[in-house]
Every structure is written in structure tokens, then in C-alpha cells.
């Protein structure tokens, strides 16, 4: 599912993007996606259709998927899947904090179609500039780095994962400032 989502929501900085394939090949996006997936615990994605046969999505490779186990009815499992199959419906509200700002803001991630829009909105909201994103170096050229807390409680750099995966795993945003921010970009 994630693999078939086009990468067009991301920052198209191909020149600085890390790729697995040889320069000039086009499979890199698929590889990059699958790499990302293996690094993280699998998300609650998968069959939104209640009648699908396989219940467990992207289970760890050691255990094969088992139909009907654990014994949770489909509608319960599906309730916590990402709502990306809906075109309408409730928003995904997350709090946004900025180091040094006196109060937090709340935004609806569903309103944005991709990282570019989101970052622009954040720049407007907090009156600052984010640097140029590269997978290798994070946000260069600015004192700020947008980060988010994901479902596992880890703080991640915004922009690393495909947009669809991001909006379903993002619990809150934090715009880091200063040396902490710069640290994120280097050699991670």
C-alpha cells in the first residue's frame, strides 16, 4: 500500500537525495520506501475492507500472518487503521510547539497535501524559515528543524517518511531550535 503511493508528496530534492540504485535508475523510490518500512515498527495499515483475508499487516518477518488472529473483529481493527481511505471525515489534529514560543498551536494535518504545504504553513504560523531538506543532512541553512513525535514515542525529523505514513504516525510536532536542531541533521 505504501509502496504504491507516489512519492510526489515529498520534497523533490532529487539532487541531494540518497539513493540505492545507480544514478539514472528509477527504482530508487520503491527501495527507499521499503527501507524506511524495515527500520520502523510496522504501522497499523492494511485491509480497510472488513472482509479481507489477512488480518495482520506487515508483521515482523519471523511470524507468518495468521488469519483471524488475534481474535479481534475487523471493524475494531479497522478503526485504528489510518483514515487515508476517506476523502472526507475528521481531521488529524496535532499540537505544534516551537522552542521559545510562549504557547502552542494546533493544526489539522489533513488540510495539507504534503510536506511543502505543511512547512510553509508552519513558517507562516511561527514566523521563521526552515532550511532546505535533504535526506542526508536534514534541514540545512536554518537554526530550526521541524520534528515530530511518532506513535512509538520517538522524535523524528519531519520529511523522512512518505507523507501518508507521516500523517498517520505523527502525534505532535515540535520545531526545534539551535544546537539541538543542528545535531539532528548530522550523520543520522
**In the complex, what is the shortest distance from the CB of residue 31 to another protein, in angstroms, rounded to a whole number?**
25
Residue number with CB closer to another protein (34 or 65): 65
Measured between alpha carbons, how far is 143 from 74 in angstroms, rounded to an integer?
46
Residue number with CB closer to another protein (46 or 162): 46
Q: Are 98 and 147 in contact (CB under 8 A)?
A: no
Residue number with CB closer to another protein (23 or 153): 153
Measured between alpha carbons, how far is 52 from 32 in angstroms, rounded to an integer?
27
Find the length of the chain.
188
66 contacts another protein (rule: CB under 8 A): yes
Number of chain positions touching another protein (CB under 8 A): 37
- Rounded to 5 degrees, what are φ and ψ at 18? -80, 130
DSSP tag of 155: E
Which residue's C-alpha cell is 540504485? 21
SS3 (DSSP) at 109: helix
Which residue's C-alpha cell is 536542531? 181
147, β-bridge pairs: 157, 174
Residue number with CB closer to another protein (15 or 69): 69
Residues 111-150 vs another protein: string with x where CB under 8 A?
Answer: x---------------------------------------
Residues 21-50 vs another protein: string with x where CB under 8 A?
Answer: --------------------xx-x-----x
C-alpha to C-alpha distances, 96 to 33, 78, 153, 162, 171, nearest whole angstrom: 26, 27, 15, 20, 10
How is residue 120 written as a grid cell?
510553509
Residue number with CB closer to another protein (157 or 165): 165
Find the part of the chain contacting another protein (CB under 8 A) among 9-17, 23-31, 106-114, 137-145: 106-114
Find the part of the chain contacting another protein (CB under 8 A) among 30-38, 67-75, 162-170, 174-182: 67-75
Residues lying near another protein in the complex (CB under 8 A): 41-42, 44, 50-53, 55-56, 59-60, 62-63, 66-77, 79-80, 88-91, 93, 106-108, 110-111
Amino acid at each position: 500500500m505504501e509502496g504504491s503511493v507516489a512519492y510526489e508528496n515529498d520534497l523533490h530534492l532529487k539532487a541531494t537525495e540518497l539513493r540505492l540504485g545507480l544514478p539514472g535508475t528509477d527504482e530508487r523510490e520503491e527501495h527507499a520506501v521499503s527501507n524506511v518500512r524495515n527500520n520502523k515498527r510496522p504501522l497499523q495499515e492494511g485491509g480497510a475492507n472488513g472482509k479481507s483475508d489477512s488480518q495482520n499487516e506487515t508483521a515482523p518477518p519471523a511470524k507468518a500472518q495468521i488469519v483471524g488472529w488475534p481474535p479481534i473483529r475487523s471493524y475494531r481493527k479497522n478503526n485504528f487503521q489510518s483514515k487515508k481511505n476517506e476523502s472526507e471525515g475528521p481531521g488529524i489534529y496535532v499540537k505544534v510547539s516551537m522552542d521559545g514560543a510562549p504557547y502552542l498551536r494546533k493544526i489539522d494535518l489533513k488540510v495539507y497535501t504534503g510536506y511543502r504545504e505543511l512547512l510553509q504553513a508552519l513558517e507562516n504560523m511561527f514566523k521563521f524559515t526552515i532550511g532546505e531538506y535533504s535526506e542526508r543532512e536534514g534541514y540545512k541553512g536554518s537554526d530550526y528543524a521541524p520534528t515530530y513525535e511518532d506513535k512509538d514515542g520517538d522524535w523524528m525529523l519531519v520529511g523522512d517518511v512518505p507523507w501518508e505514513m507521516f500523517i498517520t504516525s505523527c502525534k505532535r510536532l515540535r520545531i526545534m531550535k539551535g544546537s539541538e536542531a543542528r545535531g539532528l541533521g548530522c550523520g543520522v
